Amino acid sequence: MHQDPTSASPSVALAAPRAEQAVRRALAEHGHLSVDASDVASIADLYVLGLTSHATVNVMLAVEDELDVEFPDALLHRSTFATIESIAAAAEAAA
């Protein structure tokens, strides 16, 4: 079954609002997604929506800057940046 990437899933725990909003702002500015970052479900696959490896670096740097955190090397892999939820969780873990 195909999931609409802009629909929210009620069974998914939400990330801390500050981290999620930082991720959404970074995606809006640097992600070059095919849809508006504010409309993307927190568990939608960002790579399917147009996120590239180059854009991922810029998103990560923007999130680090806004939240004053640094993603540890152990989290620097594709799956960390696959969803808004996973990026926010990594940023929270880095705090």
pTM of the complete model: 0.83
Q: What is the pLDDT of residue 16?
A: 78
Spell out the residues 6+ positions from residue 56 whose beta carbon is closer than 8 angstroms to its own: 81
3-state secondary structure of 23: helix
Q: What is the pLDDT of residue 57?
A: 97
What burial letters (b/e) apply to 61-70, b meaning 16+ CB within 10 Å? ebbbebbebe
The residue ranges of the chain whose pLDDT is under 50 are: 1-3, 7-13
Q: What is the pLDDT of residue 12?
A: 41
Spell out the residues 6+ positions from residue 85 whose beta carbon is closer than 8 angstroms to its own: 12, 15, 20, 42, 43
Q: What is the pLDDT of residue 13?
A: 46
